Structure 1
Amino acid sequence: MLRNWKEILLLAIPSLVSFSSMTVTNTINLILVGQLGALIIAIVGVSNIIMYNAFALFSGIGHTVNYLVAQNHGANDMRKGIQRTYIAMYMCLIFALLIAVVGWIGADDILRWTGGSKQLIDEGTFYLELRFYAMSFGIINFAFHGFLRGIGATKLSMVVSLIVNVPIILLTYTLTFGHWGFPNLGLTGAGLAILVGEGLQTLICAFIFFVVLHKKYQTRSRVAFSFQWNEMKLISLESGKLGIQEFSLGISMYIFTAFVARLGDSALAANEVALSVMSFGFMPAFAFGSTATILVGQHVGKGTPMLGRRVGTDTAVLGSIFLILLGTVEFIFAHQITALYTNDEEVYKLAAYLIQISAFLQIFDGLLNFYAGGLRGIGDTTFLLRVSFIVSWFIFVPLAYLFIFVFHWGSMGAWLALYAFLTVFGCAVMVRFYRTDWTSVRLKEAAH
């Protein structure tokens, strides 16, 4: 078991640092722009939810690259892994263009559908448009990172994240407030900083894939450029299932945010601050979930799925320990943490209350990510799609409406609905993981 734990930590900790660096960057950016007022916090919060949905719909490509490359790496067949990565990149380029067009022509309408105030729409439209452009690069970057994690190169993925996130913070500070001779662009400056950072990351990822990794994996070979329709069909199907799964979660979260927006800008700002703080718990969940995908997928490729089941369990145990420790810190220091975001007393007190409610409940979000990562490793994507749809639309959204508008429990009711949903979802995925017949698990192949 200790050997498994060491292997897990060597993969998970770089992933944790990588995901955490993104969270820290978003947190620092929110603290910086938060000095512009509660309305700006609300705009950023709504934009984050919208971007999560845009990302979620196309994130299935990156998740698919991650688990298929992990299986190919385990099977020592990286020729197929590279070929699949190329196909995924073709898809990413098409969708990146689509995302940019949506941001260009529809940013104001999307904010209007959220239900925010007229002032929020007027102030936030161009910022949201910039975020859409940044997301065009983001889905390409996510697929590159999926490849790196699939081959177990989580340290390299971490280094890229660290290199990129520092300029984003510096540019946000510089362009938002006009330091060092640069113009004072306010919220627009914050949006430009994210766009420049994502574009820079795409260039770095391309250099690593096509130059640094070419010697070992022949990433520029003619075979890699070859196109097979059966592989295209497999990647499209798997990406579609995983993308719709994430989008189902994302759109339900979007509706949840729209419900909270009707409680007022202060409640919406507090909701965003609380989500930002709790995202530090999401990061260990994502990191260990990604690690489960890598290790389970590689064991499937090696033909040892039962060892994959064991390592999936060990990953969940280690990840849960991280979340319990983090939840304790969040519970004790909730007020001090939220006061860093804004000097609006109503906002930071409400945000601290929401954090204390959910500090230890986030363990269920962890179970969801740990075991969903394991199920992705074996390619059980159909179940993840089905259960995501059911719990999002038959539990989360109805409970949020009931608790907010019928019982009038306000922000507390919204977060009780959120964690009721995560509890059911996490338990369902965990049960599926252990009820799977692991002796029949096989490498995912395209149909001929």
Structure 2
Amino acid sequence: MKLLKSWYAILVLALPSLFAFATQTLTGTINLILVGDLGFVVIAVVGVSNIIMYNVFAIFSGIGHSVNYLVAQNFGAGEMRKGMQRMYLALLVSLGVAIFIAAAGWLASGAVLKLTGGSAELVATGGEYLELRFYAMAFGIISFAFHGFFRGVGDTRTSMIVSIAANVLMVGLTYGLTYGHWGLPDMGVIGAGYALLIGEAVQLAICLIVFWGPMHKRYQTRKLQSPDWKELKLISQESGKLGLQEFSMSVSMYIFTMFVLTLGDLAAAANEVALSVMSFGFMPAFAFGSTATILVGQAIGERRPDRAKKAGTNTAILGAIFLVLLGTVELIWAEPIARLYSDDPGVYELAAHLIQVSAYLQIFDGFYNFYAGGLRGIGDTTFLMRASFVLSLFMFVPLTYLFVMVFEWGSMGAWLALYSFLVALGLAVMIRYYRTDFASVRLKAAHD
């Protein structure tokens, strides 16, 4: 009975996050399907732009992740005045980052796309689209800090509602602006870029309304706290470590994509289709990982290390069950799923093969996210940064080069390198979690 209550508490937090991440993943999937009729070069443009934006997001995602676990600890300890102080400092940092991202998109989007090594047609087609994606990301990085706060206080439902509203708008606008439906202009792939920009701007507006509106009564969100510059240093350090953790993985994925692009546009399109489908596995991994951060962080704040460690374990068990079920679906229906993206036999047959190979291996990506979430909850960000950096750049990248460029194993070689890396990373983080003495963990403070 006690275990069932624990699992119920986990699901109450995890399912809204799961739906939120599902909506985001589904939005990316639907958008890729919608632009698919424009040809495999456009599919490749959108896919490569996704990888570039993933890198940009990863560099600065540490702001939202640090808010998430710091606020969770403050919430558990009943110190929300400190939590609000940290939140406003994080918003200040994210605003500066947003200005930098927008400037980078305006000045260098074309140059960035050329660095991928794609064909001249891909670069010519995708320049303006990528610029719009940079502008959208500027709004998105601020919104992510708000989502970190919402989840930190355990309000995953609000985060879900905001995400769903914004992503439904993005899908509708992508359909309308790409092909000129509903009286909107026919703008092709550029319309898809404007759809994401408008959707991200609306999402940020909703976050501001919720934060300063309904949440003010409980958390005094409109009351500015006196800034503590030591706390700004803490947030910057934690954001930097968590950002480097994500960036080392994303930049290795960027290099991975560059290797895949040497195999031709068809292979690149198949790779992006397969990654899009496998992102449905990343979805429960992220959701349950985020839940682990909330539960572990709040329990540490309450000074209940025993409960914190059990919460991480139970979250990982439930998340693994979700991934096994999802993997079974992907294994059985890989080709019909791939054909939703493209009617080109070369694209969907190769994509289906990659999906089937990955169906159950994605459990290791789940282990990484579940236990990394738990380690974030206790503030063990240094290990996460080091493990991600070392394995991404000194295992994943060399293996991809070896399998694709030296052994010439094609797309399958690239994916074998990817999942070799995820297996090693997932096991490393899981071992770290269970070797950690939770009784010695203390609340994260500015003087740490």
What's the TM-score once normalised by structure 1's chain length?
0.99
| Aligned twin of 1:337 | 337
How far apart are the structure 2 equivalents of 1:275 and 1:222? Answer: 43
Mapping for residues 387-402 of structure 1, pairs under 5 Å: 387-402=387-402
* CA-to-aligned-CA distance 1:50-76 (integer Å, 9 cap, x gap): 000000000000000000000000001
| Aligned twin of 2:135 | 133
| Aligned twin of 1:439 | 439
| Aligned twin of 2:12 | 10
Matched, 1:228 2:231: no
Amino acid at match of 2:53: M
| Aligned twin of 1:172 | 174
Matching residue within 56, 67, 76 for 1:65: 67
Q: CA deviation at 1:421?
A: 0.2
Q: CA deviation at 1:181?
A: 2.1
Between the two proteins, the alignment pairs up a number of residues equal to: 446
Amino acid at match of 1:349: E
Alpha-carbon contact 2:109-2:130 (below 8 Å) kept: yes
Amino acid at match of 2:93: M
Amino acid at match of 1:17: F
Q: CA deviation at 1:180?
A: 2.2
Mapping for residues 194-205 of structure 1, pairs under 5 Å: 194-205=196-207
Amino acid at match of 1:261: L
How far apart are the structure 2 equivalents of 1:137 and 1:173? Answer: 21
Q: CA deviation at 1:3?
A: 1.4
Matching residue within 88, 97, 100 for 2:99: 97
Mapping for residues 31-430 of structure 1, pairs under 5 Å: 31-223=33-225, 226-430=226-430
| Aligned twin of 1:21 | 23
What is the aligned-residue RMSD (CA, Å)? 0.7
Alpha-carbon contact 2:248-2:389 (below 8 Å) kept: yes
Q: CA deviation at 1:298?
A: 0.2
Q: CA deviation at 1:429?
A: 0.1
Amino acid at match of 1:377: G
How far apart are the structure 2 equivalents of 1:78 and 1:384? Answer: 26
Alpha-carbon contact 2:85-2:224 (below 8 Å) kept: no
Q: CA deviation at 1:4?
A: 1.0
Amino acid at match of 1:370: F
Task: Could you list the structure 1 runs, at least 4 aligned residues long, displaced by more than 6 angstroms after superposition.
Answer: none
* CA-to-aligned-CA distance 1:296-340 (integer Å, 9 cap, x gap): 000000000121001100000000000000000000000000000
How far apart are the structure 2 equivalents of 1:292 and 1:180? Answer: 43
Q: CA deviation at 1:93?
A: 0.4
* CA-to-aligned-CA distance 1:337-392 (integer Å, 9 cap, x gap): 00000111100110000000000000000000000000000000000010011100
How far apart are the structure 2 equivalents of 1:320 and 1:56? Answer: 24
What's the TM-score once normalised by structure 2's chain length?
0.99
Amino acid at match of 2:59: L
Question: Aligned to 1:360, what secondary structure does the other structure show?
Answer: coil
Question: Aligned to 1:212, what secondary structure does the other structure show?
Answer: coil
Consecutive unaligned residues in structure 1, runs of 5 or more:
none
Amino acid at match of 1:103: G
Question: Aligned to 2:342, what secondary structure does the other structure show?
Answer: coil
How far apart are the structure 1 equivalents of 2:379 and 2:166? Answer: 31
Q: CA deviation at 1:222?
A: 3.5
Consecutive unaligned residues in structure 2, runs of 5 or more:
none
